[in-house]
Amino acid sequence: MTLAIEAVDLVKVFKGGVRAVDGLSLEVEAGTVFGLLGPNGAGKTTVVRILTTVFLPDSGRASVLGHDVVTASEEVRANIGLAGQFAAVDENLTGLENLRMIGQLTRLSRNTAVARANELLELFELTDAAKRIAKTYSGGMRRRLDLAAALLHKPSVLFLDEPTTGLDPYSRQALWGVIEELVNEGTTVLLTTQYMEEADRLSNVIAVVDHGKVISQGTPSELKSTLGATVIDLEMSSNEEADRLGRLLLEKIGKQPRLVGAGVELPLENGPAQVRELLEIMEAADLMPVRLDLRDPSLDDVFLSLTGHVAAELQEGGRK
Amino acid sequence: MTVAAKVHSEVVAERGLSRFFSDMFVVTERNIIALVRIPQSLFFSSVQPIMFVLLFRYVFGGAINVPGHSYVDFLMPGIFLQTVAFGSIGTAIGLAEDLHKGFIERFRSLPMARSAVLAGRTSADLIRNIGVLILITAVGILVGFRIHAGIWAFLGGLLLILLFAYALSWGFSMIGLLAPNTETAQVMSFPLLFPLTFASSAFVPVQSMPGWLQPFANNQPFSILVDAMRALSNGGPTADYVIKSLLWSVGLLIVLAPLAARRFRRSF
């Protein structure tokens, strides 16, 4: 196995003592998609910035394609593409001018940069908008332009920091399709996301990150299987009933179910047999659900059981 | 490794200085395009100085007594300096914007000469200043400004002002990197520029100011630059002013450019 990205014990402390990255290690095999999954403020963006030589780590080491990100940062930069969280598109330039500029700065000649820019504008369905100022672009178009900018010099390792945050479902699907094509052509991708669905769909390996550390890692199905086979979804007639049932289950079987409005979700260790136990508990307390569902665990469930909190709940309190 | 091979065949082989200059050119071009397309920046760099010319020429000017030549001839050298000084706020705002919109992050992940980011910004502002000074000279001539010391001396004076403005824009690029957002970059710039611009010989003779203010107003760099420009435009002894102006400009550049470059590296 060839490693495209390797990080060992990375630490980055910001002013005020915030340990954004706190001893994080990871290994990404060439030609695969590695997903960093975690809530806002978990340190994902900082990891990406260290690996793309934007930030220097305070300690630990990392390399991309064997080039150290600190001592051989130029070689790293020549081989990577970065699409950051903000869609770094210059609003005053046209789509074509944006790409030409980035192309020239990635050491393509002006003519090659223009040719390559036109190629990518076509690939991302931006040809019609190529000569329009990027200020007039929609959020989805900006994202696509930003991703195109990361691909100008055909990087063999691509970093995507929350590539679909803020996109509508259609644009998200389209972007996923593009990423999958790139991977089929042999590009190694490291992506960060807060969306379980995105990590699940795209990643070969997922690392769950919280407080600057990897707290669990595996293929999507490995991560899910750590939870047991089945999750039971119950819908109660009111939020109060759901709360009551939550307390009751914690007391009787010692596990805190996840409460979402009137919904109660609980991973089951031994599947169907436990369903009967649950029904008996509920019947005895006169708390019967209006709907009952059994399903495979989702990454949401994994995340909850690993971190003790729901990813989405942390969104307000996150990074600046 | 076919992908890598392809990349390397397309990559322009450049090293060191030539690479720095070609990257600087690309970044400068980008900033110039933006400058032309943002109405606010055009307003700040040209409409505002024109208003100052009209304000001082027709509203305040009548009440200000200057020795020797007419007030408009006294005024215009001051306006030239004020224009480029206020224009350097644009450097701070532009860099703050690049930083907070993720543009600097993108630049830092590219295999480009990193120093070209700041150099491209300050060069673009230099080019903007050339354009604005030409415009303001034309406006000045329309309202009665005349060059008495010969065209070459006058152009030499403008070059002095441009060099000084170039040094200033390195200083203001540092403010842009330090400011938490673009509004603050603007707010941080004004208190610096205001006393230097108005407690100077730009609009009124220093002799008309209170005694305690005169030592500052006489010796601070804005006055020295204005005095040099005035001598090169209206006539009179120039050597002393020009030498001092050059010393200030080069001195500031030698101090501020490395400081800004260091701040740029340290921001991460």
Q: Which residues of A touch B120 (CB under 8 A)?
A: none
Provide the token pair at A220. Answer: 């999507």
B117: in domain: yes
Q: How far is CA A72 from the centre of its chain?
A: 27
Q: Which residues of A touch B110 (CB under 8 A)?
A: 77, 102, 105-106
A308: in domain: no
Mind telling me how many Å the CA of B41 is from chain A's nearest CA?
A: 12
A197 half-sphere exposure, CB direction, 13 A CA radius = 7
What average pLDDT does this structure show over B255-261? 93
Question: Which segments of chain A have a pLDDT < 70?
Answer: 1, 227-229, 271, 299, 307-320
Same domain, A194 and A92: yes
What is the per-residue pLDDT for B156?
95
> Are A80 and B109 an interchain contact pair (Cβ–Cβ within 8 Å)?
yes
What average pLDDT does this structure show over B11-29? 79
pLDDT tens digits, one per residue of B91-106: 999 899 888 888 888 8
Distance in angstroms (rounded) separating the CA atoms of residues B168 and B175: 11
Helical axes B151-178 vs B116-142, angle rounded to 10°: 140
* Number of domains chain A contains: 2
Mind telling me how many Å the CA of B207 is from chain A's nearest CA?
A: 47
Same domain, A130 and A264: no
A84: in domain: yes
* Number of domains chain B contains: 1
A147: in domain: yes
Distance in angstroms (rounded) separating the CA atoms of residues B67 and B73: 11
Mind telling me how many Å the CA of B267 is from chain A's nearest CA?
A: 9
Give which of B25, B39, B75 is closest to B202, Cα–Cα.
Answer: B75
Do residues A35 and A24 touch, judged by C-beta distance below 8 A? no
B7: in domain: no
B195: in domain: yes
pLDDT tens digits, one per residue of A116-163: 999 999 988 899 999 999 999 988 888 889 989 999 988 999 999 988
Same domain, A16 and A85: yes
Distance in angstroms (rounded) separating the CA atoms of residues B254 and B23: 22
Mind telling me how many Å the CA of A172 is from chain B's nearest CA?
A: 21
CATH of the domain at A233: 3.30.70.270
Q: Tell whether the model's pLDDT for residue B1 goes beyond 50.
A: no
Distance in angstroms (rounded) separating the CA atoms of residues A312 and B50: 53
Q: Which residues of B touch A52 (CB under 8 A)?
A: 108-109
Label residue B267 by pLDDT band (50, 70, 90). Answer: low
Nearest CB to B110 within list A86, A92, A102: A102
A280: in domain: yes
How distant, in Å, are the alpha carbons of A221, B65, B100, B173 from that of B181?
A: 43, 42, 7, 13
What is the per-residue pLDDT for B13?
43
Same domain, A232 and A117: no
Amino acid at A283: E
Same domain, A37 and A131: yes
CB pairs under 8 A between A and B: 98
Q: Is A125 left (phi over 0), alpha (psi -120 to 50) or beta?
A: left
In chain A, alpha helices (H): 44-51, 73-79, 95-105, 110-123, 139-151, 169-184, 196-202, 220-225, 239-253, 271-284, 299-307
Helix (H) or strand (E) holding B255: helix B239-266
Interface of A with B in 35-74 (CB under 8 A): 49, 52-56, 74
Give which of A303, A209, A147, A269 is closest to A19, Cα–Cα.
Answer: A209
> Are A154 and B103 an interchain contact pair (Cβ–Cβ within 8 Å)?
no
Provide the token pair at A87. Answer: 């869609």
- The boundaries of the domain holding residue A266 are 228-296
> From chain B, which residues contact A within 8 Å (Cβ)?
3-4, 6-7, 10-12, 14, 19, 22-23, 26-27, 29-30, 33-34, 37-38, 101-103, 105-112, 268
Same domain, A152 and A73: yes
Q: Which residues of A touch B4 (CB under 8 A)?
A: 79, 156
- The boundaries of the domain holding residue B184 are 16-266
Same domain, A79 and A140: yes
How many C-beta neighbours within 10 Å does residue A317 have? 9
Nearest CB to B11 within list A90, A92, A108: A108
Most distant CA pair in chain A, distance: 77
Q: What SS3 state is found at B22?
A: helix
Same domain, A235 and A204: no
A306: in domain: no
Q: Tell whether the model's pLDDT for residue B77 goes beyond 50.
A: yes
Provide the token pair at A147. Answer: 């991703």
β-sheet bridge partners, residue A37: A193, A208
Q: Tell whether the model's pLDDT for residue B227 goes beyond 70.
A: yes
Same domain, A13 and A146: yes
A194: in domain: yes
Q: Is A13 near chain B, with CB under 8 Å?
A: no
Provide the token pair at A199. Answer: 């990590």
CATH of the domain at A144: 3.40.50.300
- At which of A219, A241, A257 does a domain end? A219
Provide the token pair at A79. Answer: 């081989």
Distance in angstroms (rounded) separating the CA atoms of residues A193 and A311: 10
Nearest CB to B3 within list A87, A101, A154: A154
pLDDT tens digits, one per residue of A259-283: 888 888 888 877 677 888 888 888 8
> Are B102 and A87 an interchain contact pair (Cβ–Cβ within 8 Å)?
yes
What is the per-residue pLDDT for A284?
87
- Sheet containing strand A263-268, edge to edge, reads A258-260, A263-268, A230-235, A291-295
Nearest CB to B7 within list A104, A133, A154: A154
A289: in domain: yes
| Residue to substitute from B24, B28, B106, B182, interface A, most A β-carbons within 10 A | B106
What average pLDDT does this structure show over B120-134? 93
Same domain, A116 and A211: yes
Same domain, A261 and A237: yes
In total, chain A counts a number of residues equal to 320
HEC states along A145-204? HHHHHHHCCCCCEEEEECCCCCCCHHHHHHHHHHHHHHHHCCCEEEEEECCHHHHHHHCC
A190: in domain: yes
Same domain, A187 and A259: no
